[in-house]
């Protein structure tokens, strides 16, 4: 009886779709896209951001900036390990995919078996913003290769506005490079 009460009264879960924007939420399963996860989990990459400080720190000023405590030894860039290539070197153009408000088409460059550049050949908003970004060195940041997790979670956070079209075009470009 207690179990029944527990089941009935302690959990109410409702999935309610008000309406979905007619985008592809990754329905087109392309196993190549999944292969973008580095297979070699032992690889390390150097910290992406440059430790060269800019002359003037005129970056964005947040409301309540407070210095963080001194970093641990994680701030030292790990020694890069040679990564065996997964993709054939070259330049590949993905399909032009429908992003609902326009088309998306990407072109990728593969060097040393890895993606080294991604360009948009087509995108819905034809605008650009010129940005000047200056920032001080950020020794606290840490990097890692993403890895699929098997942990059970209650809910997932992800960008739904991430155009499935972007993923489609990227996946098709990668499939040519495989």
Partner 1 sequence: MGMPITVEIADESAVEEAINNIFTYFEYVESKFSVYKQTSEISLFNKGEISEDEFSDDMKKIFELSEETKKLTNGYFDIKSDKKYDPSGLVKGWAIYNAAQLLKDMGFKNFYVEAGGDIQAYGKNGEGQFWKVGIKNPFEQTQIVKAVRIENKGIATSGTCLRGQHIYNPKDNNKPAVEIISLTVIGPNIYEADRFATAAFAMGKKGIEFIEGLKGFEGYMIDYNGTATMTGCFEKYVLK
39-98 positions binding partner 1, by CB under 8 A: 45, 47-49, 59-66, 68, 71
Count of residues that bind partner 1 according to CB under 8 A = 83
Return the bridge partners of 111, or none.
114
**Binding status of residue 144 toward partner 1 by CB under 8 A:** yes
Nearest approach, Cβ of residue 88 and partner 1 (Å):
16
Among 1, 3, 14, 56, binds partner 1 (CB under 8 A): 14
Least distance (Å) from partner 1 to the CB of residue 96? Answer: 13
Q: How far is the CB of 81 from partner 1 (least distance, A)?
A: 13
Please tell me what DSSP assigns to residue 36. Answer: T
* Distance in angstroms (rounded) separating the CA atoms of residues 60 and 70: 22
Instruction: Say which DSSP state 100 is in.
Output: S
**CA-based radius of gyration for the chain:** 22
Among 78, 91, 114, 175, binds partner 1 (CB under 8 A): 114
Nearest approach, Cβ of residue 120 and partner 1 (Å): 5
Q: Report, in Å, the least distance between residue 57 CB and partner 1.
A: 10
Q: What is the dihedral of CA 121, 107, 101, 158, to 10 degrees?
A: -140
Q: Can you read off the two tokens belonging to residue 111?
A: 């060097």
Q: Which of 1, 2, 4, 15 is close enough to bind partner 1 by CB under 8 A?
A: 15
Q: Under the criterion CB under 8 A, does residue 177 sit at the interface with partner 1?
A: no
Q: Which 151-170 positions form the footprint of partner 1 (CB under 8 A)? A: 151-163, 166-167, 170
The neighbour count for residue 164, using CB atoms within 10 Å, is 20
Using alpha carbons, select from 72, 115, 74 the residue that is nearest to residue 94. 115
Q: How far apart are the first and last CA of the chain?
A: 57
Q: Please report whether residue 3 would count as binding partner 1 according to CB under 8 A.
A: no
The answer to whether 125 contacts partner 1 (rule: CB under 8 A) is yes
């Amino acid at each position: 009886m207690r179990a029944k009460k527990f089941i009935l009264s302690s959990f109410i879960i409702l999935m309610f779709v008000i309406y979905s924007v007619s985008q592809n939420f990754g329905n087109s399963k392309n196993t190549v896209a999944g292969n973008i996860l580095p297979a070699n989990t032992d690889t390390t990459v150097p910290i992406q951001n440059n430790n060269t400080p800019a002359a003037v720190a005129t970056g964005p000023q947040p409301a309540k900036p407070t210095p963080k405590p001194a970093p641990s030894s994680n701030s030292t860039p790990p020694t890069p390990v040679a990564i065996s290539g997964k993709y054939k070197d070259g330049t590949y153009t993905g399909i032009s995919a429908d992003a609902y408000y326009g088309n998306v088409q990407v072109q990728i460059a593969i060097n040393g078996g890895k993606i080294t550049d991604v360009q948009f050949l087509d995108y819905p908003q034809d605008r650009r913003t010129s940005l000047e970004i200056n920032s001080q060195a950020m020794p606290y940041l840490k990097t890692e290769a993403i890895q699929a997790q098997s942990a059970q979670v209650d809910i997932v956070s992800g960008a739904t506005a991430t155009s499935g079209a972007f993923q489609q075009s990227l996946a098709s470009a990668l499939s040519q490079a495989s």
